[in-house]
């Protein structure tokens, strides 16, 4: 199991990792344009770009964990609204991201709940 200290915590590091997503897409798109000029079918090039983009999203969001990983998991809800031909490569990748999230220890959940202030004004898990 990974230690929490392994997570990138500095804002610059997290931002730099997230910035690789659009930069990577731009690079893949430029390479895909070159392949299309070279005669490869547009559908094949587009499918390859989508698959590689999905893999990069999984890798980056999985490395960042925390909020970024939760964002990726939330995306898996919205992919159901996309047409199957567009959502296909992302569906499997987002499912892997959900499944790779480490479970939260129950003692941590209990501690956080005990520290919560509830709307009713009470605190802790025994509050109404």
Give the three-class secondary structure for 96.
helix
Q: Most confidently modeled of 24-28, 77-81, 108-112?
A: 24-28
User: Rounded mean pLDDT of the chain?
Assistant: 75
pLDDT, residue 3, reads: 44
Q: pTM (2 decimals)?
A: 0.55
pLDDT, residue 37, reads: 93
* Listed residue (78, 71, 56) closest to 101, CA to CA: 71
Write the pLDDT tens digit of every residue in 76-102.
666 677 777 777 777 777 777 777 767
* Listed residue (65, 63, 98, 64) closest to 79, CA to CA: 98
pLDDT, residue 39, reads: 93
Q: What are phi and psi of 123, to 5 degrees?
A: -130, 160
* Listed residue (65, 56, 47) closest to 5, CA to CA: 65
The CA distances from residue 49 to 2, 32, 43, 53, 75, in Å, are 31, 7, 10, 6, 19
Q: Span 68-81, mean pLDDT? A: 69
Lowest-confidence range among 32-36, 61-65, 67-71?
67-71
Using 50, 70 and 90 to split pLDDT, how confident is the model at 120? Answer: low
Q: Span 104-118, mean pLDDT? A: 76
| Cβ atoms within 10 Å of 89's Cβ, excluding its own | 19
The CA distances from residue 63 to 10, 21, 97, 114, in Å, are 13, 13, 10, 29
Q: What are phi and psi of 2, to 5 degrees?
A: -75, 150
């Amino acid at each position: 199991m990974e230690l929490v200290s392994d997570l990138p915590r500095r804002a610059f590091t997290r931002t730099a990792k997230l910035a690789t997503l659009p930069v990577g897409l731009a690079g893949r798109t430029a390479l895909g344009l070159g392949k299309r000029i070279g005669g490869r079918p547009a559908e094949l090039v587009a499918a390859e770009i989508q698959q590689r983009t999905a893999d990069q999203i999984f890798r980056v969001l999985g490395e960042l964990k925390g909020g970024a990983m939760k964002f990726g998991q939330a995306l898996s809800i919205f992919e159901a609204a996309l047409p199957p031909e567009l959502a296909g490569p992302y569906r499997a990748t987002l499912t892997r991201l959900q499944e790779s999230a480490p479970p939260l220890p129950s003692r941590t959940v209990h501690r956080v709940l005990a520290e919560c202030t509830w709307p009713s004004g009470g605190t802790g898990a025994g509050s109404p």
